[in-house]
Structure formats: C-alpha cells, structure tokens
Structure 1
Amino acid sequence: MIMAPPAPASSKTLSLEARVHQARHRARRILWVESAWLAVQTPLALVGGYALSGLLRVPQSLPDTLHAFLLAGVGGGALALAARNLSRVTPPELHRIDRRLEEKSGLRHRPLSGLDDLPADGEETAFWQTHMDRLRQSIGPLRSGWPALAWTPSRLAGWTGFAACLALALFVAGQKAPSRLEAAFLPGVDDSDVPLPQIEAWVDLPAYAPGAPVFLSSNTAPPRIPQDATLTVHVTGARSGPHVLGVETADVTVRRLDAGSWSFTTRLLHTGRVSIRSRGRTVGEWQFDIEPDLPPEIAWASAPHKTEDGTTLALPYRAAQAHGIARIWAKIILPSRTDLPALNVPIPLKGTPIKPQGVFETDLTESLWAGEKVAITLHATSRGGKESVSKIETLTLPAREFHDPTARALISLRHRFGLGQETPPEVADELRALAGTLPQDAKGSMLALLYAAAQLDDPDADQARNNTLGLCWAVALYLDDLAGSDAETAQANLDIRAAQKAVQDQIAHMRALGDAGHTEAEQEKLAERMKRLREALDQRMQALMQRSMQLGTVMPDIGETPDGDSDPVSRLMRRLQSEAANGQSDEALRRLDELSKMTERMRSATPQDLAQIAQQMQARARAQAQRAALHDLVRRETTLLDHVQSRLGIGQRAAKEAEQNQASVPGQDVSTMPTAELLRQLGMSPPPDMDSSATSPNGSNTAPLTPEQIAIQHEQRRDDHAVQRALQMVARVLNEDIKSLTDKKMDGLTKADKDMKTARQYLAEAKDSPAEQAIRQVLKDLAETGQQMKEAQKGKNHGGRPLALLPTMGTGQPSQGGGKKGGEARDQGDDDTQDDGSDKSDRDPLGRKMGKGHSGADTDGTVPDADSRERAREIERELRRRDADRTRPQSELDYLDRLLKSY
C-alpha cells in the first residue's frame, strides 16, 4: 500500500491527537514502572532487611564508626543494584503502549493503529473520509490503568515472610519504633531505649549581683536571672559530645572532663530558650528570663548650693540601680578653661546601696577654681560597670574669705598662677615682695615664701608649681588664723592641717598601690601619720584651754565622758586606720571626711563651745542616770514579784497552771503555762518526769500552812507593801525628772503609778494572786516606759549625738589604754549607737544579731519574725524566773539549771 502524505488536520483532529499523545505518555511511564519493579525488588529487600535489623536495635548497638560503614555499605549496595537493574530495563515499544491503552480503555478493532493509515492510491475519497471520521468517533476516553506489579511465586513468598517479620518487629518495638528507625538510619543518634545522659546545670550570678548559685532542674522553671550570669552544664554518660542550642556557638566554652563527660560554660545575655542535645535527643532545656543590667539612674535631688557657712559646697544627689551603686562622683569643669583637667569629687557611699540619696558636703575652697563659675555633673557607676551622667548644673564655687591683707594677696597670686595667668618668674618676684611685707615675728611664713620663690627660679626643681601652690595656701591660712587669734592657736591649726593632709595622701597612696598597699610597712606609715594628727589635735585642745583661762571663761565640769576613756575622734581615727589597712578605701575616705569636719569645728572652736559641749555631756549623763533608775525600778519590782510567787502555794500554782493549760490558746500568757508547755513552745522536749510532776487541779498536793509560816508571810507582805509604796514615789519623781529633761511625761510611768497603787491594795488585803497580776502589769508598764524614753531622747542633745564632737581635754592619748569599757566595747557598738540609735530590737532572745534580706543568709538557721522573737523572749524570762523559784519540784529545778546554764 502506497503511503500518501497526511491531509491537513482540523481542530478536532488536533484535539484527538493531543489526547492520544498524553495517553501514550502515561502508558509509557506505567509500563516502565512495571518493568522497573522487577529491577528494584532486590535493592528494596536489602533496605528492608536493614530496617528490620534497626527495629531490633542491631545497627545502633555497634560503634558509631562501624554503624556508619554498615549503613554506607547497605545504602551503596542497594543503589548499585538498583542502578544496574534499571539500566537493563528497555523502553516500551509503541505497539505495546497502544495495546495497553486499547485494553484498559475497552476499544475494539485496535482503532489507535488505524489513525495513522492512508489510502493506497493516496486519494482521500469521501468514503475514506467517512471511514476515518467513524474511526475517530469510536475513540472515547483513553485510560492507562494502574501499574500491574508482577510477582513470581518465590518472590511472593519472600515478601510475605518479610512483611510478617516486619509486623512482628513493629509490634515488639511499639511506640519506640520511630526512634529506633531514626537511630538505625542516622549514625550518632540514640533511640529512646538508651538512657538519657545525666545532667547537672546551675547558674552563677554575676559579680554585680552576688548570691548563691541557682541550680536548674527539668521540673521547675528558673527564676529571673540577672544579665551576664554564667550557665554551667555538666553532661555525664554521653557516648559522643553534646552541643548547646539557643546561644551563639562562639560564646560556649566546651571542656571534655573524661571519656563520657563534658562541661559547657556560656554567658546568659538575652531572654530565650537554651537546650542541650546529645545524640539527637534533648537532655536539658530551660527558658531563661534575663533581667537586663541597666545603667544607673543619677540625678540632682536639688540644685547644688553653698551651705550656711559659705565655704562648703552641698551636692544633693539621688541615684538608683537594681543591683547597687558602686561609685558616685561629681565632675567639675571650668567652662572658661576647657583645656584644664576636670576636678573629680568622690561622694563616699556606705557599701553598694540600691537607692542612695543624700547631700554630700565638701570643702573646695582650697581648689584653684574657688570663686569661679563652674559646670558640675554627677556620675554614677553600677556594680556591673554601667555609667550614667546627670544634667549639668552651673554655680560659683565657694571661696574662703581671708581677713589678713597679705593672706588675700597670696590667695590672689595663687589663683592667677594656678590658672596660668602669670609665669613662674613673675610669681617668684611677687612672692619675694610679699615676704618683705611680713613682720619680723613671722619668720616661718617668710622663709616658706622665699623657699617657694627659689624653687620657681630653679629649672631643675621637681614639683615646683605644686609645692608653691601648697605653700601659698598654708601660709595664707596661717596668717589669717594669726590675725584672728594668738600664735599658739595658729600654729596648732597649721599642724592639724599638715597632719590631716599627710593622712589623706597616705590613704590615696595605699589605694593606688592596690593589694600592695596593705603591707605592714604601709600600715605603719599610716599609723604614724594618724599619731601625728592625734598629737596635733591634743595640742589644739591645750591651746584652747589656755585661751579660755586667759579670757576668764568659767568652764563647767565635764567629768568623765559617757563612753569611758574613749571619745568620738579616737573611735573615728581607729576605724579609719582599720578600714584603710583592710583595703576599704571608700569607707576610709568617708571616715576621713567626717574627721575633716570634726577638725574644722575644732580649729574654729571657742571656749564657749567647750562650755556647750560640757552641758550636753551633763545632759547625757543625766539621761543615763534616768535609765539606770528605771532599770533599778524593774529589778526591785521583779523582787516583789518573786516574793508574791513564793507565797503562793505549790498546789495552788500547779492547779492554776493545769487549768490554764487545758484552755490554752495561741498567745496565752506565758506566766500561766506549765514549764513543760513552755519548753515545747521553744521547740524542746521536756523530760517525762516534768509532765508527771504537774499537780492536779483539785489541789490535792496543797499542804496546810503552819502558824509560824503564816506569820512570816504576813511580815513579808507588810515589807513588800512598804517597798511598793517607796517604788511608787520613785516612779513619780522619775517621771517629773524626765519631763524636765525632755519636756514630756512618760505615759508608761503614769500607768505604772496606778498599777502600783492596785498592787499595794492587794498586798494590804493579803491577796497574793491578784497582787501577782498587778505587779506583772507594773513590769509591762515599765518596759513600755523604757521604749518611750528611748524615743524621747533619740536625736536630742542629751540622748543622741552631741552638737560638736571634741576629744577629751588634756588626756593626751585617751584611746591608747582602751580597756573593755571604753575601747573594744565602744568600737563594737559604734555603728549601732551612732547610726540608728536602735534599741537592739534586731536581736534574738540569745543576743544574736539578725539580718534582713541577704544579710541573714550566712547561717542555716531561720530567724523568726518580730512577734516570734518577742514571744521567745517572754518564754526565756519566764523560765529564768521559775528557775529562781526554789519552791518548785527539785527535778524541774535541776532540769532548768542545766538548760539555762549555757546562757
């Protein structure tokens, strides 16, 4: 048959041809899959066998290296077999594709093969065209069907057996099947059957927020952590190295401790989640909430200003930082001379407070900028090293007013020379001229000025400028003091300033040396300079005494100071020396500033000031005598209470205790509790015989009193009545005396007077039990009076800190003897008595000082709150009172003696 070229096709023919083309393409792929199935059965069987071994934990039980080699061998072998078998698969022929389509589509007479037929003669007649149209119309939707996978009997049996083994392995593995398959196909990953490594994790708080390490657990979320804390994780029992997720890898320090242990250290800078993964599993995970270390807040509490004396600069400051302020200082610059270095004035702080505020007063009259308009800013540094600056304030620095003309000229020359307005030769000429104007009796000042001029003329002289400035200031002060007082006073003030400057320089030197400044040699130098300062102060006091005697001022008798042979200056100097020697330079500077204020008051002190201090000390001694009188009242009332209790029968008291014990409620009076119950309140187990020694409420153990005993008790009641009357009169006199001193009457003494009257009445009626309660109420009133006296005397000149702190006159070295009374005892209590004037209410019944916040975290014990502490004190006092009562059972007394002996 002759093939003719195809006729032009219509759009309908093109549509049929496109459908046929797509169907043949699908059938070709399906036929290829059916042929490839036979080629990949062997590789699939190899991979399936490996998966089955993975479900049985065979590959993952091998070392990671062998595991990786085995997986590579199985995977590579499967891929090689599949590639070889698939390369041998031939593409399906066209007639196979058409037969597939015709069979799956249900076409008869093979119409797809007739689509390409042409008439034999090459002419398409109408009959041929009709034939082709029928042929095309007979082709409906073409389907290729799904791949028909061929199974040979042997392979069908093999795959059936494999499926059964796989199902059994999946059943045995259960929920662990996914993890086992993952571990089998990923070397270095453990499945869930392997125990997780042990992990220990904790957070070390940064240096600016000290505290105990925070130990982490998987059950509880960690608390809020300060920024820059250090996270440490120890992983033990891991087969390979774990890794940390959630932080920068470069910030993690990894150390291998041994064959199965690793240590990770990283810093926590941002809020987020940190996890530890080992061999594909998470062994630890924590969500950290990081508290940022913000810069401190520093601001002026009010504008800086001059104080009333006109020479002191007041710097009101206010700062805050969550973890404490390490340092505050004022930076002073001279706007007209920005080339000059700034003047930094440190503001001493006590510790590292969180919200420090106050007014720091400093004397800058010695500065070259005194009298100039300056700009001041406050700077604060937190414990974490963050720094903040306040806004700028401008003012004119206070300047000292000099009355002597030569002193004023020296200060003016010093000011000009310090600011660079005059050259050294010009200053030297002026110094010689000023030295010539001095009187003949001021030879020391004249020589000092000539020496300064000679240094300025010598080009090789070291520190000539600084020495000249210092000598000008010292000579000016001496001349001004000499103009207002005698030579002895001026010389004493000069020695005080020189000794104080030497102490300040030594502290600065020790601070600059750091740890090397704590050597014994440096401490000896500081002690020597402190001794010179003390000698200068004593010389000033002697000059002051001579001046007062010359003026004929009547000096009241000061007597012995309330602190024995110690005084405020001596205590302050000892503490300053101790803090400087221990490296507490900030505290030492604060003490030095206090000492400077004291010495300044001493330099300007007059005989009238001494008289005022003497009156203040007399008032303090009077207040101390009042407290002693109140203490004596309490002691004598306690004696009366012991007498009343001794008259109460043993059976009556025991019956009363048992009755109160049956109806006891929290907070009941400790005086009505049995001794066994008191011991239980203290957390102690009383001996068994103490419980059994209690007398029954029926009073069966009460023994009748003999006539002699009745007579003795009657005589004792009469004496107690007289004593109570005398104590009542003493209380009234004491109340009037306190009123004359503090302008206040004590309500506690007023109530005690009424209760004493009630006690007298019961004693007169021989009613010991009501008298006992009345005397107890008197003791409570007296205790209330003691607290009222402390509050009334706090801050007063007679009970608080004196207006001026001067050392004891004429003692020479009052602090050197320093026995237990005035030396050590005062040193130990200096903080408490001067800082807050507290009544030591922050101590437990045994006298131990209790802390608040972190300060009490050094011990394992837990300090009770205020109510619990007061309750414990009451119980302890009651136990001591019962131990003093010899009418109690001997077994109870023996036990109380042993219990209280250690206290």
Structure 2
Amino acid sequence: MTDQIPPTDAVLRRLAWPLRLTRAGMFAERAVRAFWPVWTILLLAIAVFAFGAADALPLEVLWVALVLILASLIWFVVKGLRGFRLPTREAALDRLDRTLPGRPITALIDTPAVGGDDPASRAVWEAHVARMTIRAATARAPEPDLRISDRDPYGLRFIAATAFAMALLFGAIWRVGDVGDAVVGAGEASISGPSWEGWVEPPLYTGLPSLYLNDITREEFEAPAGSRITMRFYGEVGALRLRQSVMAPPAGETTDTTAPAQDLILERSGEIAVEGPNGRSWQIVMLQDQPPAVVLDGEMTGIPPGQMQFTYTATDDYAVISGQARLMLNADAADRRFGLAVEPEPREALVLDLPMPFAGSRAEFSELLVEDLSQHPFANLPVTLTLTVVDDAGQIGTIRETIDRLPGRRFFDPLANAIIEQRRDILWSSENAPRAAQILRAISHRPDGAFDDDGAYLMVRTAIRRLEAAVDSISVETRDQVAEILWNAAIELEEGDLADALERLRRAQDRLAEAMRQGASDEEIAQLMDELRQAMDDYMQQLAENAQPGEDQPDGGETMEMSMADLNEMLRRIEELMQQGRMAEAQEMLDALRQMMENMQITQGEGGDGPQTPGEQAMQDLQDTLRDQQSLSDDSFQELQEQFNPGRPNPQQGPQGQQSQQGPGQPGQEGQPGQGGQNGEPGEQAQDGQGGPQSGQPGQQPGTEQGEGRGGEGDGRSLAQRQEDLRRQLQEQALNLPGEGTEGGEAARQALEDAERAMDEAAEALGRGDLADALDSQSEAMEALREGMGELGRALAQESGTEEPGQGQADGTAPPDRPLQDPLGRQAGNAGAFGSEEGFEQREEAFRRARELLDEIRRRSAEQDRPEVELEYLRRLLDQF
C-alpha cells in the first residue's frame, strides 16, 4: 500500500459552504439548548418593566425582584457555559455526511486497506470514488433542530415571547429605564438632593392624554373632574411635602403629606404644591363634566299596521353610553267616557332601550326608535314619554313630552273596532269586565250577517264565558287571556282570509331572504321563487275578493296601479340578480316588494272589463310601447355583452322557465332543441341554426298578445326589425292621440315625435351592428316616451276638469305638483306604471355608486401618508355613514 487515493480538491471546495452552514446550525442548536432560560428571563423582565412595574412596586420589593432576576441570569449563564461545547469540524463533517446516501464524504477521505498495488483493485476503487464524488457534490446543509420541548415542557419561552410582543405593542419600552432611576434614585438623591415626579391622568372616557407635571412650565392648567393625580418623592423621607386643596381628606383620617407615593382625585379646582428643595406649585382648574341632553326630533308617528316611531337627538361633552324611553299612561288627558270613566288600574311604566350608534362619535347623534306596541294597554291612549340618557360619568339627562295618542293598530271593520274597544276597557280596569261581557253578548246575539268568520264568533263567545265566570273580579291572568282572545278575534274580522294569504306571502319572502343569506343553490332558489309566486297570486286574489264595490280611492288619489305583469317583472328581476350573485341588491328589491304587497289595495276599476275612454286607451297603448321598448333595450344590451364575452351565460335563462313566454327564435336561443311551445306542445325546430318564425307574422304589431311575446320576441325577427316595428306602432299612436289643440296634447305629440326620431336612429344603428349607439338612442326614446305620457296625462286631467285622477281615469294622470308615489314613497312616474320614472335599474345604479363611493372613502382613509387634514375629513365622512 505505497499509494493512497486522496479526495479531489474540487470536491472539498464545493463542500466548504455546506460544511460551514452545518457547523453554524449545530452551534445554534447547542446555544438554544444551553441558554434558553437566559433569554426567557430577559424577555419576561423587559415586558414586566415596560408595563410600569418599577413605578408600581415599592423600592424594597423592586430590589428583591432585581436581585432574583440577576441571580437567575448568572446561574443559567454559568450552567449553560458548563454544558456548551463548540461543534468541531469533524462533527460537522459527520453530520453533513449522514445526510447523504452511502456516506460519500467518508469514502472520499478514506483509503483502501488492501489491494492498493493491484491495478484491478485500484480501478474498482477509483470507480467507487468517482460515484461518491458525484454524490458529495449534491451535499446541502441540514436544517438545525431548534426544538427544546423536552427541556421546556411548559412552554415558558413562548410565554416570554408573547409578553415581550405585548409590551412592544401596548407598553412603553422606554419605561424600562425607570428601573435604573428607581434603583439609583436614593443614591443620587443623597448627592444631588431630593427629587419628585408627578402625573395627571384624566378619566379614560374623556380620551384626553396624561400630563407630566415635571414638563408643565405654566402655573395654571385645566383638567377634567375625576382626574387622578400621582406624586412620587425620592430621596430622604420628609425632605419633600405635598400641599393640596383639590381633594378633601377622608373624614376622621390624617394624610401623610411626606409619603414617597401619594395619589389624589381631582374633586374641585385648587392648588397642588411640592414644598421643599426644587419645589413647584400649580393652580388646577377643574373642567366639570356636563350632564348629557336629549331632545325629541319632530313628533311620534305611526307606521302601518301599528308600529310607533320617533327620532331623538342626544348630546354630551364626551359620550352618551345608554338611554331609555319610559312611557306612562296619562289618564287625565284621556276621554273619560264609557269604559274609561272609572279610575284606571295602576300599571308599571313601559320601558324601552334607546338605540345607540354602533360606530362613530356618541358626543352628538340622532337615532330612530321603532317599536310595535299595538297590543299594549297604552296603545291609542295618551301617554307621557320620558327620554333619559346617561354618560360615562353616570350623569343623567332627561326630557318629558306629552303624547296625545300612542300609535297603535287601528281597526276599520265596525265589529272588530267594537271588540277592540271592549278589550281596551278591560285592560283599563277590571271593573269594566261585567259591562264588557254584556256588550260583547249583545253584539254577538245574532251572529248571522255580523260574523263572517265562525272562528271569530267562537272566540268572542269564549271571552264572554270567561268574563262572566268571575264572581267578584277577574284575575290578572284571566284578564290577559281574554285580551289575547279578543285581539285575535278582531284580527280575524278585520283581515279575514286576507291575513292567511298575507302570512303565507311573508313566510315565502322570509324563506327566500334566508336562502340568499345562506347561499342556496339555483335549484333551491327556483323552488322558493315558485312558492313566492304562488303565495303572491293567492294574496292578490284575496285582495280582489276583499275589495268593496263602490269603494272610493284614498284621499288625494295619490295611488299607483300595478298589474300582475309588473309584479312578475319584479320577481324575474330578483331571480336574475340572485343568479348573478348580487344578493344585496336582490334583498333590497325583495324588501321593496314586501312593503308594496303589504300596503297594496284593490280599488274599483282595476282590472275591470268596463269600456275605456280614448284617453285611457291611448295611455295604455303608450305604456305597452314603453314596456316593449324596455324589453328590446334589454335584449340589445345582452347581445352587446355576448359580443365581449361569448361564453357568458344568459342570466335570463334561469330555472323554472323564466322565458316561458318566448319562443325558440329569441336571440340567444336559436336552434336549441327541446323548446316547448304553448300548452306543453313541442315547438317548431329552427333549420340550419337559424331561428325561424315561431309565432306571429313578420308584420305583426308588437305587444298585441301576451302569449306571443311583446315587441316581436320569439318571431325570429332581428333587433333592427323589431325596433322599426315599434317606431311604426308609435307613429300610428301619435296620429290618434287625443287632446288635439290643447297645450298638453301638443306637448305630448312633440315628445312622441322625439321618441319616434330616437327609435329611427336606434333602428339604423342596429342595422349596422352598432349596439352601443343603439342603446343610447333607445334610452333617449324611452325618456321621450315617458315625457309624452306625462304630458298626455296632464292634458286628459285638464279636459276632465279635475286636478287629480279619480276612479276610471287614465293611470298616472297626476297634476305636475302632485307626483304619484308608490307605497314606499318613491315617485312612480308620469305613466303610473312601476319604475317608469325611477326604475330599479336606476336605483341599482345609485346603490352601486354609493357602495363604490363608500369603498373609496375607506381606502383613502387607510392611507396614512395622506395629510392629517384630509384623513380627519375622511373619518368624519365614515362616521356619518
């Protein structure tokens, strides 16, 4: 064995950095295992002192704590040094070699024991070394194992790290230096004399910063009432003395004015002074915390069917934390006749919590309280309203208002109103029970013709038996049960079958709203929409059955007539929004539908078969034309979207056949097999991918039959042809327009001519494929149509000699100064059709812009590099929202 095979220099050079990193990792492992108690104690000590432990602990306790900390650190440092060993190069090389298969580094530095002179053995060894060289070239430093759970089973190191992080976020690291001041304070005081420190901390609810008395150069300053004044004396005890007049000493107790630590509460304006070397004095003016105030904005009003609401404004110098509304019966202001002639039984006040703002300042705000008190004994009686608000200091602000009538449900059925009156008398006083029983027996003596509902009659008889069963006086429990029975009977008589239909409608709306919130599937949404349609049909039928013949319209005639087509369009739009994922907008529209359905009424002449005047017929024709133009504009917009996104699904093709009235020739459905015709029969198939005519003739006027589709939908005509047919139809309507020779009639004709011109431009744009330009012209045409319908309505009103439209007049012919409104208070439009002036598309655009504006304000307010003035303005805007 005269020759040995040494490792190559190139391989050793490649192993230099992995070897260094491996050695560094081993050093970290051994250091962490040996010294983890040291940095754990250091982090805990820093965190404790950062939160002001040096100021809170007495000097003796602080010295003991410092000695223990120092001794612990020395002990663990010595123990760690004794157990710590620096990793050697050989140990690092062995760690690195163990990470490679076959331990190639050992092979490279090894030599053959036998056969070094044999050429064959030498060749085999060289081949082995070559393979190991390739493996060694792939060496990577292993990750160090820093886990010490076996040495720290309780996780003390994590507790220390968490405490240190909390100190960085919420503490004051600079207060760690107070430890040195406290330790050497006595020694320095003996050299430089006694010293002192003082702070003034306002109450937390004020949001004001603390004041450091050593930095206050003026002799007088202001501080809120209740501020805590802290004084600390260092040096020889008795060298400094505190003199103060801001807090009265406790009765029968003496105060040590030379104590090293003294705390005061600011109770009045006065002086505090440090007497002794380097003494100072200050005059403190106490800012009295003002009590909150509350006022009632406007009057208490009622919301159908029986809710009460009022708005209040509360103010305080800092913040209002809570409030209550207290309602007491004002018996002196009641009409003390009949059942109210006796003295009322004493009742506890009705207490309601006032709503508080969730965000923003509570120094000044306005809130709305809405509560349903229809069944409360105070309903529809005079009451005294007491509003009370409380601030953080416990101060109370109160205002008292007299309310002539607490809003409650009103009953317009005479029999139901009589039953409710007896219910009121029983709740007023139990002495009225015999009298109420006699009156109820009298009105139920002959139920035929009076009680349309057998259930209501049985409930009244049950109430009579319970009232008459009481020998002397009825108990409170029996009185409340009778009141509940009479309330239910009155509801049955007032609403009848309509209440059940309305309840089903509400339940269907609630289920659909819950499905929106839970992200239901399209199939579940479609099923719930079918239930809502069925409930709406039942409710509309009950409304029609409950409409009284000859019934007058509400005073003023400001009503809005809606057809089932309008309601179905709202449902279609709600489903479309849900399919597009716009749940917030769908919920808003569903809430609007709920409010309209609950406030809806059937008036004489709606949906009747009686003859229409020429003006009514002209207005109806213009409404159909406007509706067809809107449908055509929607189809144009969908085709424009399809051009930019061919794979985009059609939102109108929802489940349950939303397009059941459209034939297979509608744009976007050409050539689709399986489209059913009317009555469930198979429809005709389009040939060669072209949608042939399915219903009607090419020259058919749009909007003639519901089953044929308005505006030529489903007859295979192009958008340009449909637009041209609409223009010709409007031209014929303009020639037969009533009101000729009047100012309103001429204005209506001029508006319709503008609409015709815009339709002609839209048809030309559709013919050349310019959908964007066509949409602009179609929008202009619809606006001109609405204006013409409004002028026509005013002309018809002038001809009839009325200021407001009554029964049998054209829809929506309201005077210019009295615009129609729907049950939600929105302007209904000149044509009287829902959405003609303020359609849901416009409302959705307004909601979208409002959301975008709010998001932009939030984004800008989060950019801290903006000027402080701008940030403050943005915060005020957010507080308002």
Structures share a fold, TM > 0.5? no
| TM-score for the superposition, normalised by structure 1 | 0.37
| TM-score for the superposition, normalised by structure 2 | 0.38
